[in-house]
Structure 1
Amino acid sequence: MNHSSKKIETALLLAIAITLPLQAMAGAGGTEFTQVYDQLTGWANGTLGKVLGVSALLVGLGVGVIKQSVIAAVVGIAMALTAGFGPGVIDGVVSSGVAIVNPI
């Protein structure tokens, strides 16, 4: 192992050692973004999300008919499903933190 690769390895280990404790606090705080988050999830779960999902489905079906291919319709259905279920899945993943009561 040459000298420059040893420096790179040391720098990477140092960066990991510094940022690892900070990752535990990544989901905490951020109350200043609550209003923006509520607005965006309201749009996605409300009428705007339904309109975008149905329009993606219709565009995908239309392109599928024109190209005589099922792939465009599948993409439209996937976009509609993502628009409908995406915000709930993201909220569930982000807020699924488990509190450790008795640390080791």
Structure 2
Amino acid sequence: MKPGRAVVVLALAQGAATVAHAGAGGTEFQTVYDQISGWTNGVLGKTLAISSLLVGLGIGVIKQSVMAAVVGVSMALVAGFGPGAIDGVITVGHSIVVPI
């Protein structure tokens, strides 16, 4: 193996070990997570979803193109369902009791 490749392999191995350890803990960010999650699941998230839908529909009418309306609908769907989907995907995994 060439010396340059060995350095890359070692760097990737070190990065993988750091990532595996990063999943344990993080309680110091819980208040930030709760605040942002409350915004996206609350009135602010609904307001942004409806606003993006209306802006997309308005631009679609002005440009006489359905693509702007599709982007507006897509943004509204992501704003509405995205936080719950992300939370579901991340919390499905088993928690690491003992850090690696």
Report the TM-score range of the alignment, normalised by the length of the smaller protein.
Answer: 0.7 to 0.9
Aligned residues: 96
56-65 or 24-33, which deviates more: 24-33
Residue of structure 2 aligned with 1:51, choices 30, 47, 53: 47
Read off the aligned partner of 1:10 and give its amino acid letter: A
CA distance in structure 2 between the aligned counterparts of 1:24 and 1:18, rounded to whole angstroms: 10
Q: CA RMSD in A?
A: 1.7
Once the two structures are superposed, the pairs formed by residues 85-100 of structure 1 within 5 Å of their partners are 85-98=81-94
Aligned 8 A contact 2:53 2:75 in 1: yes
Larger Rg: 1
Residue of structure 2 aligned with 1:67, choices 63, 66, 69: 63
After superposition, the Cα gap between the structure-2 partners of 1:88 and 1:70, relative to the gap in structure 1 and judged at 3 Å, is same
> After TM superposition, which residue ranges in structure 1, 4 or more long, deviate above 4 angstroms?
none
What's the secondary structure of 1:95's corresponding residue? helix
Residue of structure 1 aligned with 2:24, choices 22, 25, 28: 28
What's the TM-score, normalizing by structure 2? 0.87
Residue of structure 2 aligned with 1:7, choices 3, 7, 11: 3
Gaps of 5+ in 2: none
Which of the pair is proportionally richer in helix? Answer: 2
Q: Which has the higher contact order (CA 8 A, sep 6+)?
A: 2
What's the TM-score, normalizing by structure 1? 0.84
Once the two structures are aligned, what percentage of the paired residues are identical?
Answer: 62
Q: Deviations over 1:15-73 (max 9, x none)?
A: 12222233222322110100000000100000000000000000000000000000000
Gaps of 5+ in 1: none
